[in-house]
Chain A
Amino acid sequence: MNNLSPSVTYNKRFGYIAFGLLLLVILFSTYLHHFQPEVLRVPSNTDVSTWHNPAFEQTLIYNRMSEAEKQKIRTEGVIDGNNLSVVLFNDVVMILLGLICYLHARRHFGFWMASCFLIGSFVFTGLEESLWILVGRFLGGSITNPIGEVAFGSYWFTKGGLWFIETPVVACIGWFFIAYTCVLTAGKVFPKMNLLGRATAGGLIAMGIDLWMDPIATSPEIMSWVWGKGDFLLIFGIPLYNFMGWFLLIFLFAILWEKLPQMEKTWGRAKATSRFLLICVGGAFCVMTFLFLWLMIVGNLLSLMGIKQAIQIPLGW
C-alpha cells in the first residue's frame, strides 16, 4: 500500500516505535522487579524485617497499626503481597478500564492524539513516581527535615504484576484514564472555561477522588503502598505532597496535551511528537524538583513557627 497519506504512514511508524519501546521498558522493569529485586533494592513483601531506609518501624503505616496487626505483618508479610490472583485481577481490570478509555479517545481525537495521551501520561506519571521512589530508596534517611525528624521523603508500591521502572503498570494506566476522564469531565461541565480553568478543574476532580482512595489503599488491611516517615503535613495519613502531585500532574499534562495540535501546526507531526514526549520526561523531573522545594520551604516555615512535629489531619475527622 503506497497510497497512504503521510500522516497515516507516520502514525503507523509512531505506533510501532512508541508502543514497542514502552512494552520493552515494561518487560525489562517487570523482569528486574520480580526476578532481580536486589538491583533496585525492591523491599521484600514476605519479610518486613529486611526493610531498611525506611525500616518497618519508620513507615507511616506502622503508626496506624495495632500491636496485633504489627505482629501479623512481621510474621506473614505484606497482606496479599504475593497473592497472584489479586495481582492478576488488579492488572486485568485496570488494563481493561484503560483500554476502553483509549477507544473513546481514539474515536474522538484520532490515533495520534489518543496515543500521545496514553503514552505521554503513562511516561510522565510513571517516571515521576519512579524517580520519587528510587531517590527516596537510595538517598532517603540521610537528611533531617526542617523540624528535626529523619526524612525519608519516599514511598513504594507493594503489589503489581507488570512494572514500569518501579511503578506498577496499573498505577500508570490509572493515571491515564483518570487524567483523561477528569479533563473530559471538566470540558463537558465547564465548556466556556479557558484551558487553564479546565485543567485546574480536571486536576481538582482527580484530587477529590484520590483524597479517599489513598487513605484506604495505604491502610493496614490493604497496604498497596507504604510511606516513609518524615513529612510534616499529613492529610488523612498521607503526605500533602501526594495530593499536590495528583493535581499538578493532571493540570500540567492537560495543558500540554491540549497544546499538541498547535505544536503540530508549528513543527509538523513528527517534531511535535518528539517534543511533546521530551516535555513529558522533563516535566516529571520538574514536578519532582518543585515538590522537593515545597517540602523544604513549608518545613522551614513550620520550623520558624516553632512546630516540632508533623501536623496531622486524622482519618476519623
Chain B
Amino acid sequence: MSFRAVSTIYKYEMLRTWRTLFQSVASPVLSTSLYFVVFGTAIGSRIQAIEGVSYGLFIVPGLIMLAILTQSIANASFGIFFPKFTGAIYEVMSAPISFFEILLGYVGAAASKSFIIGIIILTTANLFVDIQVAHPIWMLTFLILTCISFSLLGFILGLWAKNFEQLQIVPLLIVTPLVFLGGTFYSVNMLPPIWQTITLFNPVLYLVSGFRWSFFEVSDVHVWLSLAVILSFLATCIAIVWWMFKTGYRLKK
C-alpha cells in the first residue's frame, strides 16, 4: 500500500476544491439557504408541524442529504472523468499503485468534500432554526456512509461516462427525481397509499428517513432498516467498482 500515492491523489483532489472554492462550497450553501428561505420560512410557516417537528426544522436533514448526494456524485464523477477526458489519467494508470489506492484517493477526497459541505449546511441551517441532534453518532454514521457510497456511485459514473452528456444525464434524470421523491421535503405518510408503496422502492427514502431519525427520532421506516439499506447500497457500489477494476473497464485496453 502506497500511502504517499493515496495522499497525493487525495490532496490533489482537495486542492482542486480550493481552486474552485466558490462553485465547490459556496454554491451548495447558497442553494440550500435559498431552499431554506423558500420552503422552510416562507412556505413552511404555513405548514403545520409534522409529527411534532416544525416544518422548518423537519426539512433540514433532507436538505443536507439533497446536497451531499448531488455533491458526492458530481465531485467524484468529475474527478475521475476529467483526467480520463484529457488523457492525463495515463499517469495514474502507469504509477506503481493498485486500483484500490486510486479509488481511496479519488473517492476519499470526494467523500471528504461532501462531508465538509454537509457540516457547513448544517451550520448554515442552524442560523435559521435551532437544531438539536438527538443521536449524534447515528447522524455522523449516516452522513459518512452516504458521502462514501454516493461518491463511489459518482466514481462509477465518471468511469462509465464516455462524454459530458452521459456525465450529466444520470444526476439529472435519475438522482434528482429520487432525491425529491425520497421524502426530502415531506413525510411519506403525507402521500396517498399507492405512492407510499412506490416510494418504498426508492433507496433515498431510507437515507433521509434514517438521517432525520438521528435528529428528531421521527422516521418513515425503522432506523435499522435505513442502515441496512445504506450498507447494501455501499456493498453494491463496492462490488461494481471491484468488477470495473478487475476487468480494467474503460481504463485499460
A, B: real partners = no
Q: Which residues in B have some Cβ–Cβ distance to A below 8 Å? A: none
Q: Which residues in A have some Cβ–Cβ distance to B below 8 Å? A: none
